[in-house]
Structure 1
Amino acid sequence: MIALIGIDVDGTLVGSSGKVPDLIWELAAQARAKGIHIALCSGRPAFGLAAEYARHLDDDGWHIFQNGASVVNLATHHSRSTPLPEGSVRGLISHARETGQVLELYGDDDYVVESEAPWAREHAELLGLEFKPRPYETLSPPLVRAQWLVSPEDAKKMVAPPDLEMAESTSPLMPDVRFIGLTRHGVSKGSAMREIAAAYRVDMRDVMYIGDSGNDLSALRVVGHPIAMGNADPQVIKAAERTVGHVDDAGLADALKIAISSR
């Protein structure tokens, strides 16, 4: 029986409309009524719209943000954060200032971006946050994740420093941008799903995960029921046990129905 479901946001829960279909919320409620835990598992931070989505899915449990760097229990407000190495952060800041590329730095409850580029503004709107560029040094520690906003061509050239984990993701709401998330080495959606499963005392064989992008691969590879969206990247479809419908056709509903029927 499926006892825990991990759900990605962009391209899985949220499609090109920027809205979550009512059917998804209804099925999530049915799954919870069956005793299934549901965890949001996003590269987004634990504030803004992502926090609202998490509360709607399950306001009494654990959720994953920042590609696994922030694991938060909404009921107790307990947070398990893994900070970035300070040396790596300094190097990223220097590179951003030298190249003019858009770099975002995140803490548990705040983020900072210096760039005033259109992509930076557009991403703040996507996150449901006020756009207020300011110096990187104004973000209070701990810093748990960094993120580059780059073109698809530049994304192919990105290489992670040896002490960082790198994961690429996309959003239907910003199709021309690739989000390159950086967390401490060993921290990923997969490691966070293991942590949540342990907290709930759920065997990983009884965990379902649904995703569409490269940053979902680590989670898909450790669960017993890996599900790809119909709009997923080829490597995600290859890693999945089965593929459901496109996000714009509420394909996530198909996966939730499978989990509910397992009970």
Structure 2
Amino acid sequence: MIALIGIDVDGTLIGSSGEVPGVIWQLAAEARAKGIHLALCSGRPAFGVAAEYARRLDDDGWHIFQNGASVVNLATHESRSTPLPEGSVRGLISHARETGHVLELYGDDDYAVESQAPWAKEHAELLGLPFKPRPYETLSPPWVRAQWLLSPEDARRVVAPPDLEMADSSSPLMPDVRFIGLTRHGVSKGVAMREIAAAYRVDMRDVMYIGDSGNDLSALRVVGHPIAMGNADPEVIAAAERTIGHVDEAGLADALKLAIGSR
């Protein structure tokens, strides 16, 4: 029986409309009523609209943000965070200032971006946050994640420092941008899903994960029921045991029905 479901956000929970279909919330409620834990598992931070999605899925449980760097229990407010190495952060900031590329730096409950480029403003709106560029130094440590907003061409040239983990993702709401998330080496959605399963005392064989992008691969590879969206990247589809419908056709509903039917 499926006892825990990890659910990605962009390209999985929400598509090009920017809205979660009503049928998804209905099936999420049915899954919880069956005793299934639902965990948001996003590259987004644990604030803004992502926190609202998490509460709507399960306001009494664990959720994964920042590609696994922040693991938060919404009921107890317990947070398990893994900070970035300070030297790597300084290097990223220097590179951003030299190149003019958009770099976002995140803590558990706040973030900073210096760029005033249109992508930076658009992403703040997508996150449901006010756009207020400010120096990176004004963000109090610990810093748990950095993120580049790049063109597909520039994203292919990024090489992560050896002490950082790199995850590539996308959003239907910003189709021309690749989001290159950087966390401390060893931090990933897959590691975080194992941590949540252990907290719930759920065997990984009874865990389902649904995603569409490269930052979902680590989670898909450790669960018993890896599911790819119909709009997923080719490598995600290859890593899944099943491919469901497109996000813009509420494909996530297919996976939720499978999980509910397993109980």
TM bin (shorter chain): over 0.9
TM-score, normalising length from structure 2? Answer: 1.00
Shift of the alpha carbon at 1:187? Answer: 0.2
Q: SS state of the match for residue 208, structure 2?
A: strand
> Which residue identity is paired with 1:151?
S
Quote the residue 1:253 is aligned against: 253
Shift of the alpha carbon at 1:43? Answer: 0.1
Query: Distance between the aligned counterparts of 2:8 and 2:82, measured in 1?
Result: 20
Shift of the alpha carbon at 1:137? Answer: 0.1
Aligned length: 263
Query: Distance between the aligned counterparts of 2:186 and 2:160, measured in 1?
Result: 12
Query: Distance between the aligned counterparts of 1:4 and 1:54, measured in 2?
Result: 14
> Which residue identity is paired with 1:51?
A
**Any residues of structure 2 matched to 1:107-122 within 5 Å, and which?**
107-122=107-122
Q: Deviations over 1:92-119 (max 9, x none)?
A: 0000000000000000000000000000
Aligned pair 1:41/2:57, yes or no?
no
Quote the residue 2:18 is aligned against: 18
Aligned pair 1:126/2:126, yes or no?
yes
Query: Distance between the aligned counterparts of 2:23 and 2:100, measured in 1?
Result: 42
Quote the residue 1:9 is aligned against: 9
Q: SS state of the match for residue 30, structure 2?
A: helix
Quote the residue 2:167 is aligned against: 167
Please give the root-mean-square deviation of Cα atoms over the aligned residues, in Å: 0.2
Q: Deviations over 1:176-228 (max 9, x none)?
A: 00000000000000000000000000000000000000000000000000000
Quote the residue 1:56 is aligned against: 56
Query: Distance between the aligned counterparts of 1:224 and 1:127, measured in 2?
Result: 31
Q: SS state of the match for residue 210, structure 2?
A: strand
Shift of the alpha carbon at 1:26? Answer: 0.4
Shift of the alpha carbon at 1:3? Answer: 0.2
Query: Distance between the aligned counterparts of 2:207 and 2:36, measured in 1?
Result: 10
Aligned pair 1:137/2:140, yes or no?
no
Query: Distance between the aligned counterparts of 1:49 and 1:79, measured in 2?
Result: 18
> Which residue identity is paired with 2:45?
P
Runs of 4+ in structure 1 off by over 2 angstroms are: none
Shift of the alpha carbon at 1:28? Answer: 0.3
> Which residue identity is paired with 2:17?
S
> Which residue identity is paired with 1:249?
E
Quote the residue 1:178 is aligned against: 178
Query: Distance between the aligned counterparts of 1:243 and 1:256, measured in 2?
Result: 13
> Which residue identity is paired with 1:194?
R
Query: Distance between the aligned counterparts of 1:81 and 1:64, measured in 2?
Result: 10
Quote the residue 2:195 is aligned against: 195
- Unpaired runs of 5+ in structure 2? none
- Unpaired runs of 5+ in structure 1? none
TM-score, normalising length from structure 1? Answer: 1.00
> Which residue identity is paired with 2:207?
V
Give the % identical residues: 89
Query: Distance between the aligned counterparts of 1:23 and 1:58, measured in 2?
Result: 16
**Any residues of structure 2 matched to 1:82-93 within 5 Å, and which?**
82-93=82-93
> Which residue identity is paired with 1:35?
G
Q: Deviations over 1:114-166 (max 9, x none)?
A: 00000000000000000000000000111000000000001110111000000
Query: Distance between the aligned counterparts of 1:65 and 1:140, measured in 2?
Result: 18
Query: Distance between the aligned counterparts of 2:160 and 2:134, measured in 1?
Result: 25
